[in-house]
Amino acid sequence: MSATDNTETTARRRGRRPAGQDTRTALVEAARAVFAENGYDGATVRAIATRAGVDAAMVNHWFGGKEGLFAHAVLELPFDPVELQQTLRDGPDDELGERIVRTFITRWDSAGGGVFVALIRSVAGHEQAGHVLRDFFQRFFSALISAIGSDRIPLRMNLCASQMVGLGMIRYVAKFEPFATEDVEVLVRAVAPNLQRYITGEIG
Amino acid sequence: MSATDNTETTARRRGRRPAGQDTRTALVEAARAVFAENGYDGATVRAIATRAGVDAAMVNHWFGGKEGLFAHAVLELPFDPVELQQTLRDGPDDELGERIVRTFITRWDSAGGGVFVALIRSVAGHEQAGHVLRDFFQRFFSALISAIGSDRIPLRMNLCASQMVGLGMIRYVAKFEPFATEDVEVLVRAVAPNLQRYITGEIG
């Protein structure tokens, strides 16, 4: 981890935030704010790094660039999506829909829902953000769905995306009631069977 | 219809577009463009009327104000939502989900999908647009669902909204494939059973 060590030294020498996880956290928080204010296109790596109080090079170091930072900060991915996938796979195939709905709502809730507003504003405002969102869902759901052997993976992935993105829109952005304040488990019981049908059911 | 007659005379005297349905159509087209460019908050009645080449008073005359114009132009309502509801009710209760999915995709498709981008941009950008969207769905789906006697109407309405808004997001805004170019009937077969469950099924 010599890159991290170098960074840490540089940051301390300049009297900025310490590097490592703190830098990463600061960048994620700054990115959420800047993406929410300016959308995907208007948000620059420089503006995000400045708000975080770190070197712009740290964005490449930790996230591989603006797209990766968007995926992590706004889509609320953990640092390693493979890890999240493993968590979701851990259980019966016919309860995968339930695990996905519960896991995503819980993580989005704990981030205050604000990340979802940033996501939608970015996707609506810039073609590129739609690509990032699609690439994420594609990789993420395709791997999950194909692991349990369903056919028509691309269409099923799109259907799952439509339900999960719509759920986020109504709970966090448009804030319909009772959806916006409903208990997680009520939403899981209502939505999970529909997601499960998209994953393993007969879809025409 | 003396108000319309007066308007027509005024418009002609000024050498502008003729009033009546043409005025309405011009306002709807101008509203779509201005809402898409500026979001709900940034779009002024004056800017929309100017682009349409009509008096700003026509917005109140035809749509009762900015909210009504937003609902008609962006949500793609027909002039009389009661008429659309009647169309949707015309058939078996257990096929209502199918009629809703087919009708909405067909109308959104024929408008080129651009109205959906305007809708999402507005909802993400301004609290008030979320209220307008919610009020529309509330009135529209609550009336449909309660007509066939389901319980838990508000939650069911929210669930329907989550699926339909998500469907529009993925087809028109984020443009996932195959969703963006898929035949309407493929989407109807895939999505309708899920919407039907939200309307009449066991939701926990």
pLDDT (tens digit per residue) in A63-112? 888 888 887 787 765 545 667 778 888 999 999 999 999 998 998 888 77
Interface contact A194-B163, CB threshold 8 A: yes
Regarding an ipTM greater than 0.90, the answer is no
Q: Are residues A107 and A176 in the same domain?
A: yes
Shared-domain flag, residues A60 and A86 = no
Nearest to A169 by CA among A201, A100, A121: A121
Kindly state whether residues B124 and B54 are assigned to the same domain: no
Q: Are residues A59 and A125 in the same domain?
A: no
What's the pLDDT score for residue B4?
Answer: 40
Domain identity same for A89 and A180: yes
Domain termination site, one of A29, A46, A73:
A73
User: Cα dihedral sign for B9, B12, B16, B18?
Assistant: positive
CATH of the domain at B61: 1.10.10.60
In three-state form (DSSP H/G/I as H, E/B as E, the rest C), the secondary structure along B152-182 is CHHHHHHHHHHHHHHHHHHHHHCCCCCCCCC
Q: How far apart are CA A68 and CA A62, in angstroms?
A: 9
* CB contact at 8 A, A12 and A47: no
Q: What is the pLDDT of residues B122-179, one digit of tens each?
A: 777 767 677 777 877 777 788 888 888 889 999 999 999 999 999 999 999 888 999 9
What is the predicted pLDDT for the residue at A4?
Answer: 40
Backbone φ and ψ of A153, nearest 5°: -55, -50
Whether residue A87 sits in one domain with residue A57: no
Same domain, B89 and B142: yes
SS (H, E, C) A72-89: HHCCCCCCCHHHHHHHHH
* Residue numbers in B near A171 (CB within 8 A): 162
pLDDT at B201 over 90: yes
Q: Among B31, B56, B73, which residue terminates a domain?
A: B73
Domain extent at residue A28: 2-73
Cβ of B153 under 8 Å from any chain A Cβ? no
pTM score over 0.80: no
Cβ pair B176:A203 closer than 8 A: no
CATH number, domain with residue A147: 1.10.357.10
Nearest Cβ partner of A167 from B166, B176, B189?
Answer: B166
The domain boundary, picked from B51, B73, B95, lies at: B73
Tally of domains in chain A: 2
What are the φ/ψ torsions at residue B175 (nearest 5 degrees)? 50, 55
> What is the structure's pLDDT at A1?
37
B107 and B155, same structural domain? yes
Instruction: Give yes or no: residues B33 and B112 share one domain.
Output: no
For A6-20, A66-80, A130-144, B141-155, which range has the lowest pLDDT when averaged over its residues? Answer: A6-20
3-state helix, strand, coil in chain A (%, to 5): 75, 0, 25
More confident residue, B100 or A147: B100
User: Does residue A164 surpass a pLDDT of 90?
Assistant: yes
Instruction: Return all residues near B46 (Cβ < 8 A) that are at least 6 apart.
Output: B56
Provide, as residue numbers in chain A, all residues whose Cβ is less than 8 Å from the Cβ of B179. 155, 158-159, 161-162
Report the chain A residue with the minimal C-alpha distance to residue B124: A121
Task: Give the integer Cα–Cα distance in Å for A129 and B174.
Answer: 8
Strands of chain B (E only): list them.
Answer: none
**Tokens standing for residue A58:** 């740290």
Nearest of A118, A159, A161 to residue A136 by alpha carbon: A161
Same domain? A187 vs A97 = yes
